[in-house]
Amino acid sequence: MALILLTNDDGVRAPGLAALAGALVALGRVVIVAPEQDNSAASHSLTMRRPLHVREIDANSYAIDGTPADCVMIGVKKVLAERPALVVSGINPGPNLGDDINYSGTVSAAREGTLLGIPSLAVSLVAANGEPCQYAVAAEEAAQLAALVLKDGLPPDTLFNINVPNLPAAELKGRRYTRQGRRLYDNAIQETFDPWGRRHYWIGGGTPRWSEEPETDVQTVLAAYVSVTPLHLDMTNHRALQGLVEG
Ligand SMILES: [Mg+2]
């Protein structure tokens, strides 16, 4: 029976985590190692200036007072008795498309699994802020892909970034493999004043503009397909490298 490490960036109490656990138990033993608190947009940060504590919730569920990447690293190396066959991160209640991948704790947890040599998936729902989430639909899609990856593996140094449109199952058109698009924000820094009249800034909100190139993750979810983007650990621009001349 496959051992699956499940984590997220929204914290161990998040409903998306529970929904994903419920769908993955059909594939193996699921052990949750997730952050105590919401770590959305924590990216791939590691906690290195204070100690980390593991709290056992039950035999298959642990919380760590750290980041998503901390959870995968400590989960694999210290919490689990054996190496997992799969790392799954999610379900995030918002998209991780285009440029957002750089900030995403959900994607970074899966990237940490890939760095450790374990096939890994990140799962996100393309839901707007405050919109009710179709977690069961996304969990079922994720479980189908997890079964495929358990059977066939993934290419070397590659993780799957999965984004599921927030629609009833009957309205999903299918699944497509995509490339990373661009997702640009207007007004992403809110400039306001505190009760004492001091100016402050709050990053968040704003109006996202989605790039219009076809076959990208952003256009695929807009067309009501599940988007699966294979992300690579190597961020080298190989085309640029070929054109660069050493002096
Ligand atoms: Mg999140």
- For 20-77, what is each residue's pLDDT tens digit? 999 999 999 999 999 999 999 899 999 999 999 999 999 999 999 999 999 999 999 9
Within 13 A of 109's CA, how many CA atoms are on the CB side? 38
Between the CA of 50 and the centroid of ligand 1 the distance, in Å, is: 23
Does 224 reside within a domain? yes
Between the CA of 35 and the centroid of ligand 1 the distance, in Å, is: 11
Does 209 reside within a domain? no
Between the CA of 185 and the centroid of ligand 1 the distance, in Å, is: 18
Digit-coded pLDDT (tens) for 214-238:
899 999 999 999 999 999 999 999 9
Between the CA of 101 and the centroid of ligand 1 the distance, in Å, is: 11
Ion ligand 1 contact residues with beta carbon within 5 A: 9-10, 40, 92
Between the CA of 9 and the centroid of ligand 1 the distance, in Å, is: 5
Using a 10 angstrom Cβ sphere, with 0-12 exposed, 13-18 middle and 19 or more buried, the burial of residue 65 is: middle
Between the CA of 90 and the centroid of ligand 1 the distance, in Å, is: 8
Does 108 reside within a domain? yes
Contacts from 182-185 at CB under 8 Å and sequence distance 24+?
A: 182/98, 182/99, 182/210, 182/211, 182/213, 182/216, 182/218, 183/95, 183/97, 183/98, 183/99, 183/100, 183/208, 183/209, 183/210, 183/211, 183/218, 184/99, 184/208, 184/209, 184/210, 184/211, 185/209
Does 239 reside within a domain? yes
What span, in angstroms and rounded, lies between the C-alpha atoms of 171 and 91? 19
Does 206 reside within a domain? no
Between the CA of 8 and the centroid of ligand 1 the distance, in Å, is: 7
Residue 167: give its domain's CATH number: 3.40.1210.10
Does 73 reside within a domain? yes
Using a 10 angstrom Cβ sphere, with 0-12 exposed, 13-18 middle and 19 or more buried, the burial of residue 42 is: buried
Does 133 reside within a domain? yes
pLDDT of residue 175: 97
Digit-coded pLDDT (tens) for 157-215:
999 999 999 999 999 999 999 999 998 777 788 899 999 999 999 988 777 788 888 89
Between the CA of 140 and the centroid of ligand 1 the distance, in Å, is: 19
Residue range(s) defining the domain that contains residue 111: 2-183+214-243
Between the CA of 242 and the centroid of ligand 1 the distance, in Å, is: 37
Does 86 reside within a domain? yes
Domain count, the chain: 1
CB 145 within 8 A of CB 228: yes
pLDDT of residue 183: 80
Between the CA of 127 and the centroid of ligand 1 the distance, in Å, is: 12
Apex 64 CA angle, 60 and 24, nearest 5: 35
Between the CA of 13 and the centroid of ligand 1 the distance, in Å, is: 12
pTM for this predicted structure? 0.95
CB 143 within 8 A of CB 23: yes
Nearest to 182 by CA among 151, 209, 222: 209
